[in-house]
Structure 1
Amino acid sequence: MDSITQAVLGAAVAGAVAGRQCNGKVLAAGAMLGTLPDLDVFIDYGTDLANTVNHRGFSHSLFVLLPFSLLLSWLLRCNAKLAEYWPFKKLFTLVALALITHPLLDSFTTYGTHLFWPLDRPSVMISSIFIIDLFYTVPLIIAVIWAKFSQHKAVACRWGLAVSSAYLVWTVVAQQLIIIRVEHQLADTELAGRPLLVTPTPFNSLLWRALVLGDNTYWEGTSSFLDQDGYIRFVQYDRGLPPAQARFPTLAVFDRFAHGFVSYQLEGEYFKATDLRLGMAESNPFAFYLAEYSQGQWREITPVTVPRHVAVTEVLPRLWQRMLGDQTIPPSLN
């Protein structure tokens, strides 16, 4: 999720745990703890692809954050004033929850979060909420502001967490309803049983994107809870296949990062791989040039991000129209 959301989530969690000891300093500390795991964006892993793949890695791991919480709590208790007023168990609970709620929330997005690093397991990707969703964030912002100026600070934080958590539960329920809708429509077709991904479209949980993988094609459609009928109008796109000589280690790394939802294109002398999970049809934010064709053969290159230009002022009105039930809007929104 975005940094503002993680900050107010951390502040609300800290305030809720602090109870009567909640004050402005506690809220500020919680906000800082809530954003701490994302400091990994300042680590340069050497290439654009490595930076993308390794984000939400060790700094989001429960196996790292829990011991770190224990260490940080012990160090904070070295302050005599804190030690007098804050029992270790309560301080550890505040620090640990403010930290681990960050990656737990991230795991509900589509990017993927390595909750169990360093174990060799795929990233956790529930994909029920977009990375920016005001319906989740605004209740937390209101709660933190309320807590700042109210005498009932912990109560305000707990109400904010209750409302935002209820909305998060709704996104999971909504996703499952759309999955049922998609699977019902695809039953007894050539797409039945194919890999399926259902994700929310930007900034909302009413309009959903359904992505179905074929061998060298993929199908994409959108479904809104405000549609007059539940029929999803899928559009078929060319997925492509990597050249036999272009199966480089970087491609395997990217395929694992994208959970297999990858398309392949040849652009001039360059081989491009695109993560289909994020964005919408033909407007995906994570695409990389991984190889070039030179002297009759493919040669691996240092991965380079493919520039992407999206006219947000044009896309958002069409996204709004589609969310309200206009099924003439194609899934690409171009």
Structure 2
Amino acid sequence: MDSLTQIVLGIATAELIAGKKLQNKTFLYGAILGTIPDLDVLVGQFMSDVDGVAIHRGLSHSLLFFVFLAPLLGLVITKLEKGLLDFKKASWLAFWCLVTHIALDLFTSWGTQILWPLEHRFALKTIFVIDPLYTVPLLISLVYVWRNKDSFLRMKYLKRGLFFSTGYLCLTCVLKLIAVHKFEKALMSQNIPFQELMVKPTAFNTVLWNANVATPTGYYLADYSFLDSQPISFTFYAKNRDLENKLEYVADFQKLKQISEGWYLVTEEKDNLYFNDLRFGLLNADSKQLQFAFSYQFVANADGTLRANEVPKKKRDGKMLLQHIITRIKGN
């Protein structure tokens, strides 16, 4: 999830565990502890585009890492809060602030290696990385927590915020199940055989959902809004095996294949090859210039080998995508 949401959740977790002892200091500790796993993004800034993406939500989001990190952080907190928190309580505080971070990340579309060093990434794909309906109730409850010193009132407001935010998170799971059923029903009615179906929400909402449908020869992409009145329409994109063969021995290509979990298309434009991650949808569906949300261009190094550079996104791309989503949410 986005940094603000993780900070808010970290504070809520810290308050739940140590609010009686630390009072408003939970805002400081919760914000810091809730941010720590995402510091891998800063490390990625010193790496190549592909390697930086590859480490995100890897080691820093693993339960094994937290088992060793939590006691160290607990020791620091104990030193800072002498007489308020013992080592066990401080370590417990650190551990759960870290764990709730990855627990929330599991609901998003970007996989999380909670069992690192195992390579498998877990992703429930029920909520977008930024969703105000999750964050705002929790944020409002924390405002009331900050303004009150009475432990009973603080816990009362905190539980209300957690009730609404967690309730919404559970609701997203139900909405996804409904969306999956709609896509499966549409595929069946249109006689489209498929190997795998991936369904995830679009940006900032859980009303409009995207589907990626894998077949032996390519992918069908489609979207569905709960306000739709017409049948779901699927668009087919063929796998470009000839273009993939040109990249077979390129290291970045093999890494991107693993990162995308096999959901990708290789395209060519003006003699340039592009790797497109299908998991996060299209920015522009123009047949003359197909543009995906996450795309990488292969460029030549000085020694003639190829590396992949992420195609930068422009402000107008985001504005155009948001306008499309708002329009599409209203129905087809």
TM beyond 0.5: yes
> Which residues of 2 match residues 11-22 of structure 1 at below 5 A?
11-22=11-22
State the match for 2:142 in structure 1: 144
Offset, 1:155? 2.5
- Provide the rounded CA distance (Å) in 1 between the counterparts of 2:258 and 2:320: 33
DSSP-derived class of the 1:43 partner: helix
- Provide the rounded CA distance (Å) in 2 between the counterparts of 1:313 and 1:85: 49
Offset, 1:318? 3.0
State the match for 2:297 in structure 1: 289
* Number of residue pairs the alignment of both structures matches: 318
Letter matched to residue 89 of structure 1: K
Offset, 1:39? 1.1
State the match for 1:318 in structure 2: 324
> Please, what TM-score do these two structures have when normalized by structure 2?
0.88
1:265 to 267, 286, 298: 267
Distance 1:269 1:220, change over 3 A: same
Distance 1:215 1:193, change over 3 A: closer
Q: Do structure 1's residue 58 and structure 2's residue 51 form an aligned pair?
A: no
> Which aligned segments of 4 or more residues in structure 1 are displaced greater than 6 angstroms?
none
Q: Deviations over 1:128-157 (max 9, x none)?
A: 110110001101111111110023223322
- Please tell me whether the aligned partners of residues 17 and 94 of structure 1 are also in contact (alpha carbons under 8 angstroms): yes
- Provide the rounded CA distance (Å) in 1 between the counterparts of 2:258 and 2:65: 22
- 5+ long unaligned stretches in structure 2: none
Indicate the percent of aligned positions where both proteins have the same amino acid: 31
- Provide the rounded CA distance (Å) in 2 between the counterparts of 1:217 and 1:60: 32
State the match for 1:97 in structure 2: 96
Distance 1:321 1:289, change over 3 A: closer
DSSP-derived class of the 1:307 partner: coil
- Provide the rounded CA distance (Å) in 1 between the counterparts of 2:48 and 2:130: 26
Offset, 1:73? 1.0
Offset, 1:13? 0.8
Offset, 1:223? 0.8
State the match for 2:223 in structure 1: 222
- Provide the rounded CA distance (Å) in 2 between the counterparts of 1:267 and 1:69: 48
Mean CA deviation greater in 213-222 or 8-17: 213-222
2:133 to 123, 132, 135: 135
DSSP-derived class of the 1:302 partner: strand
Offset, 1:237? 2.7
> Which residues of 2 match residues 91-240 of structure 1 at below 5 A?
91-119=90-118, 121-150=119-148, 151=150, 152-187=153-188, 191-228=192-229, 231-240=231-240
Q: Do structure 1's residue 76 and structure 2's residue 77 form an aligned pair?
A: yes
Offset, 1:190? 5.4
- Provide the rounded CA distance (Å) in 1 between the counterparts of 2:297 and 2:319: 28
Letter matched to residue 43 of structure 2: I
- Please tell me whether the aligned partners of residues 244 and 266 of structure 2 are also in contact (alpha carbons under 8 angstroms): no
Offset, 1:19? 4.0
- Provide the rounded CA distance (Å) in 2 between the counterparts of 1:271 and 1:300: 13
Offset, 1:158? 2.3
- 5+ long unaligned stretches in structure 1: 294-298, 328-334
DSSP-derived class of the 1:84 partner: coil
- Please tell me whether the aligned partners of residues 13 and 161 of structure 1 are also in contact (alpha carbons under 8 angstroms): no
Offset, 1:189? 5.4
- Provide the rounded CA distance (Å) in 2 between the counterparts of 1:136 and 1:311: 25
Q: Deviations over 1:223-281 (max 9, x none)?
A: 1112235x211122344223424213322211111111100112233321110101335
State the match for 1:330 in structure 2: none
Distance 1:240 1:52, change over 3 A: same
Letter matched to residue 270 of structure 1: N
State the match for 1:279 in structure 2: 281
- Provide the rounded CA distance (Å) in 2 between the counterparts of 1:287 and 1:245: 17
- Provide the rounded CA distance (Å) in 2 between the counterparts of 1:257 and 1:115: 15
- Provide the rounded CA distance (Å) in 2 between the counterparts of 1:288 and 1:85: 51
RMSD: 2.3
- Please tell me whether the aligned partners of residues 194 and 214 of structure 2 are also in contact (alpha carbons under 8 angstroms): no
Distance 1:163 1:24, change over 3 A: same
> Please, what TM-score do these two structures have when normalized by structure 1?
0.87
Q: Deviations over 1:85-112 (max 9, x none)?
A: 3244332222111111112211211121
Mean CA deviation greater in 99-108 or 208-217: 208-217
- Provide the rounded CA distance (Å) in 1 between the counterparts of 2:271 and 2:120: 32
> Which residues of 2 match residues 39-58 of structure 1 at below 5 A?
39-44=39-44, 46-58=47-59
Letter matched to residue 322 of structure 2: L
State the match for 1:305 in structure 2: 310
State the match for 2:35 in structure 1: 35
Query: Highest relative contact order (Cα 8 Å, sep 6+), 1 or 2?
Result: 1
